[in-house]
Amino acid sequence: MTFGTFDLFHIGHLRLLERSAALGDRLVVCVSSDQLVLSRKGRLPLFSEQQRMDIVRSIRCVDKVFVEEAKGLKRHYLLEHRADVVTMGDDYTNKFDEFNDIVEVVYLKRTPDISTTDIVAQIRSLKPAP
């Protein structure tokens, strides 16, 4: 299982999903709700939770997708979906260690030189043509 916003889907997201899927026989992906993203990042995602779920669901290595309603429900989700492994990008190192008692926690190296935050900043910095 892995968790994420998956806004402005890019190659880093794809690599995370592929490497996560390679660690087990099925991959369950929990996509953050619009309201959860707003509470964490102070802005809504550019694509709605349904659009983001549809995009992630279309990826060949993904078996199931559901929405994460609240940050405090991760343990519940891991148990409910009977996860053996949870993966996250290494920018979250140690932040999922509390689940080591129920799953193997694996932090995957991020894909270099790409992040949604950077893409959003680049787009915002573009000036309209005269």
Q: Give per-residue pLDDT as tens, 29-39.
A: 999 999 999 99
CA-nearest of 85, 47, 52 to 67 is: 52
Q: Which DSSP symbol is given to 106?
A: E
- Residue 63 falls within a domain, yes or no? yes
Using CA atoms, how far apart are residues 25 and 13, in angstroms rounded to an integer?
Answer: 19
Mean pLDDT of all residues in 90-114: 94
Token pair belonging to 67: 């929405």
Is 22 domain-assigned?
Answer: yes
Distant-in-sequence, close-in-space partners of 118: CB < 8 Å, separation ≥ 6: none
Q: Where are the beta strands (DSSP E) in the chain?
A: 2-4, 28-32, 64-68, 85-89, 104-108
74 exposure class (CB count in 10 Å sphere: 0-12, 13-18, 19+)? middle
Could you list the residue range(s) of the whole structural domain that residue 41 is in?
2-125
Kindly report the pTM of this predicted structure. 0.89
Tokens 């935050």 appear where?
117
Give the domain CATH number at 90.
Answer: 3.40.50.620
**Model pLDDT for residues 43-93, shown as the tens digit of each residue:** 899 999 999 999 999 999 999 999 999 989 999 999 999 999 999 999 999
Residue 92 resides in a domain: yes
pLDDT reported for residue 130: 66
- State the number of CA atoms in the 13 A half-sphere of 119 facing the CB: 13
As for how many domains the chain has, the answer is 1
In a domain, 43, yes or no: yes
In a domain, 130, yes or no: no
